[in-house]
Amino acid sequence: MITKTRIWLSSPHMGGTEERYVKEAFDTNWIAPLGPNVTFFEKSLEEYVGGDVHVAALSAGTAAIHLALQILGVSHGDEVICQSMTFSASANPITYLGATPVFIDSERKTWNLSPELVERAILNGISKGKKPRAIVAVHLYGMPYQIAEIAEISQKYAIPVIEDSAEALGSTYHEKKCGQFGDIGILSFNGNKIITTSGGGALLSKDPEIKEKAVFLATQARDNAPHYQHSAVGYNYRMSNVLAGIGRGQMEVIDDRVMARRANYNFYKERLAGFDQISFLDEPAGFFSNRWLTCILTDAYETREQLRLALAKEDIESRPLWKPMHLQPVFENSPSFTDGTAEDLFNRGLCLPSGSNLLEEDLERTISVIKKVLDQ
């Protein structure tokens, strides 16, 4: 009897050398939140992303956003502009600091921040005497946001940008890698991301002092003294040298991972070309997505659900697009500037199995279930 294995949305994909670097950590007894693997991992990220960024490896992408907000001066009572259509980790750290997220709807070209609505929210804030302190912009599913437009608004109103590149390592905008565009960028190496350290993240900035501040805050804000001396409240957010060994190995295969994810997208797009109930998010000129997850847009909520349930029945994992933050119970009291775009995308969108380790037969199995539903 042939038993079918479960097909995952996005599962870890080791390259082969990770265990060697982890073993090195054991052999040299660097079992600590610092050490050679952390340094090597940071260096390889700096070289890969380019743009003279300085990288601090941290325990999670969420921790990186928390530190980024604090370093940019966000504090109690402030308002922070945040993309609504995203994972909750983009917004949660705003509340850790006692600030309020102001959620902004998406535009249809990239599914990310609508520049018009961002500007409207800023003007509204200014008119209340409360200019937003920062903008959290996200490259959703690996598709860069409208970087030039958001940067222009950021400069016009002198509001810094946190570039949430958690899903976009390997994506580029006019040939430059994502992660270098914001005043501070962040990455995630959670188990489902394009490369993983099982759990982990990073903070990036062209300003070396920002990296220094991040490392200082991430290691309990220790002053320079022989004893433990503190003039600020710190965190325990640094990346473990054991996990950084996994990241070091993963960086050797990052280009293959991007190619494999993009190949998944192209496969789905070609094989579903004849179905006008289904559409895809194309790359605008100058935009290059790592296609972390392949997302389809169906003609109606009902089609989305039929597909999701039919796939689940065959033990194939798929998932609706991120539910917008302005529709989440936990954020029901947060202000928002919306036009219905993110809600519509959420209702009709579905993420398909997208791992770089999917086999041809996995993709074939997935597409045959989808086609069966659409042919009805």
Min dist. Cβ of residue 65 to ligand PLP (A): 6
Stretch that binds ligand PLP, among 3-11, 21-29, 58-66, 117-125 (CB under 6 A): 58-66
DSSP secondary structure code for residue 140 in this structure: G
Q: Which is nearer to ligand PLP, 195 or 278 (CB)?
A: 195
Number of chain positions touching ligand PLP (CB under 6 A): 14
Q: What is the DSSP letter of 300?
A: S
**Cross-sheet strand order for the sheet of 176-177:** 176-177, 172-173, 287-288
Counting contacts by CB under 6 A, is residue 240 touching ligand PLP?
no
Range 267-286, binding ligand PLP (CB under 6 A): none
- Contact status: 84 vs ligand PLP (CB under 6 A): no
Q: Does 201 bind ligand PLP (CB under 6 A)?
A: yes
- Out of 10, 37, 62, 112, point to the residue binding ligand PLP (CB under 6 A): 62
Determine the length of the chain: 376
Find the shortest distance in angstroms from Cβ 143 to ligand PLP.
Answer: 12
Does position 61 bind ligand PLP by CB under 6 A? yes
Q: Quick count: other Cβ atoms within 10 Å of Cβ 288?
A: 20
Site for ligand PLP in 110-169 (CB under 6 A): 138, 164, 166-167
Identify residues 158-177 at the interface with ligand PLP (CB under 6 A): 164, 166-167
- For the bound state, the minimum distance from the C-beta of residue 300 to ligand PLP, rounded and expressed in Å, comes to 26
Only one of the segments 81-89, 115-123, 149-157, 303-311 lies at the binding site for ligand PLP (rule: CB under 6 A); that segment is: 81-89
Q: Is 366 in the site for ligand PLP (CB under 6 A)?
A: no
Return the residue of 106, 146, 171, 190 that touches ligand PLP, per CB under 6 A.
190
Pick 91 or 370: Cβ nearer ligand PLP: 91
Q: State which of residues 22, 38, 53, 60 lies at the interface with ligand PLP (CB under 6 A).
A: 60
> How many Cβ atoms are within 10 Å of 101's Cβ, its own excluded?
25
Of these residues, 130, 131, 176, 193, which one is catalytic?
A: 193
| DSSP codes, 235-272 | -B-BPPHHHHHHHHHHTTSHHHHHHHHHHHHHHHHHHT
In sequence order, what DSSP letters do the residues of 121-139 get, joined into one string?
HHHHHHHTT---SEEEEE-
Amino acid at 209: E
Whole-angstrom CA distances from 161 to 48, 91, 203, 332, 348 are 21, 14, 13, 24, 29
Distances (CA, A) of 128 to 97, 150, 331, 337: 21, 22, 21, 15
Q: Which is nearer to ligand PLP, 62 or 171 (CB)?
A: 62
Choose which of 87, 181, 265, 287 interacts with ligand PLP (CB under 6 A).
87
Q: Does 179 bind ligand PLP (CB under 6 A)?
A: no
d(CA 320, CA 313) in angstroms, rounded, equals: 16
Query: Residue 325 or residue 374: which is nearer to ligand PLP going by CB?
Result: 325
At its nearest, how many Å lie between ligand PLP and the CB of residue 15? 20
CB of 280 to ligand PLP, least distance (A): 20
* Residue 185 lies near ligand PLP (rule: CB under 6 A): no
- Both tokens of residue 325? 């933050």
C-beta of residue 71 within 8 angstroms of C-beta of residue 213: yes
CA 49, CA 165: separation in Å to the nearest integer? 11
Indicate if 206 belongs to the active site: no
* Strand order across the beta sheet in which 79-83 lies: 54-58, 201-205, 184-188, 161-164, 134-138, 79-83, 100-104, 336-337
Q: Which residues are catalytic?
A: 193
- Interface residues with ligand PLP (CB under 6 A)? 60-62, 86-87, 89-90, 138, 164, 166-167, 188, 190, 201
